[in-house]
Chains A and B, each alone.
Chain A
């Protein structure tokens, strides 16, 4: 029963895992290793999950903790199971055509370049978590969360203005 519930919850929240792997793994080859490591740790801790908390909050804590540890490891390889297929498959090979898609690429690139804790803060913020929830998940004070988000906003503004001019060419 637990296995069925767990698989279902992971299926529902696969986007969170994908976004975290994408943000913390500049190397595409390492992303599946990180996804495995995250799901493995979620499964290991699942018995201790209390239904009174939101699953996504609990999942964010574990997934971000695993991702930061993985990111800081010098030896990345941690593949638990060697399998000819990938755990997470992203079936979209279209090139960015619309302006929105190009901006999304710039945004993902920007997130990928942030420091490890800043990445967590912005992923949570974009995942519609309140400052209070971000503070609970990260362990940072609420006022520091606000300061960090403001700094990221400023950086984002600058990056987008320079990034867009590089992307489209200065007019």
Chain B
């Protein structure tokens, strides 16, 4: 059967529905009376909570930075961590903007791409961690120093800089130089544009879950429908 031959079938279906489908009017009035609340509201508030927590960590790091401003190793490490939280904060603010601008009367590709992007947020965190791998030594440096500043007895005698006997800079420099290209390469590879690659699919599924992998596959399909000839 050809598609034009099914048109009369569809018209018949329309007529049948006209008679057979009954709409429960009382139900519509109940929906109209219901307090209007977006189904994305829980996600919005989760992102707000994340923004508050990330801002809190950033403020603590700024305090740490001010306190250790003239000790280069600590100051640089704190700056690296502040940069990490700034990137995370920007990501969350972008998500909040997407949620606020969500309008279901926009075209299907636009809305579904935005929803898939919200769904794939876990991957953004995985990508950020990878991007900051070259600066991974900054985390223990700041952590142990902060513990000392707070006079937590267990950590009183642990100071990564002193313990490494001045080799910390060398180790940090070597790690950064060796891992920067890898970090950037992984960061750019882990996107929906490369979801056809097996290792990308596997990594995404293991790091962020099946739901995220499916969201990225859908994003790729939507992107090709809008911007490429299929």
Contacts and interface: CB of A to CB of B under 8 A. Distances in A.
A117 B31 contact: no
Interface residues of B, number: 52
Nearest to A108: B13
Contacts of A86: 24
Interface in B159-193: none
A72 B2 contact: no
B168 to A, nearest CB: 46
| Main secondary structure on B side of the interface with A | helix
Interface in A8-59: 10-11, 14-15, 18-19, 36-37, 39-41, 43-45, 48-49, 58
B108 A66 contact: no
Given A10-B28, A140-B226, A45 B105 contact: yes
A111 to B, nearest CB: 10
Interface size class of A (residues with CB under 8 A): 35 or more
Interface in B16-73: 16-32, 34, 36, 38-39
B225 A140 contact: yes
Given A88-B21, A156-B3, 7 more contacts: A18-B21, A40-B34, A43-B32, A65-B106, A80-B31, A117-B108, A136-B107
Interface of A: 3, 6-7, 10-11, 14-15, 18-19, 36-37, 39-41, 43-45, 48-49, 58, 61-62, 64-66, 68-69, 72, 74, 78, 80-81, 83, 85-92, 100, 103-104, 107-108, 117, 120, 125-126, 136-141, 143-144, 147-149, 152-153, 156-157, 160-161, 164
28 contacts: A6-B32, A15-B14, A19-B17, A39-B28, A39-B31, A40-B34, A44-B36, A44-B38, A45-B103, A58-B105, A65-B111, A78-B39, A85-B24, A87-B27, A87-B28, A88-B23, A88-B24, A91-B21, A92-B19, A103-B6, A117-B221, A120-B108, A125-B3, A139-B107, A139-B110, A141-B226, A144-B229, A144-B230
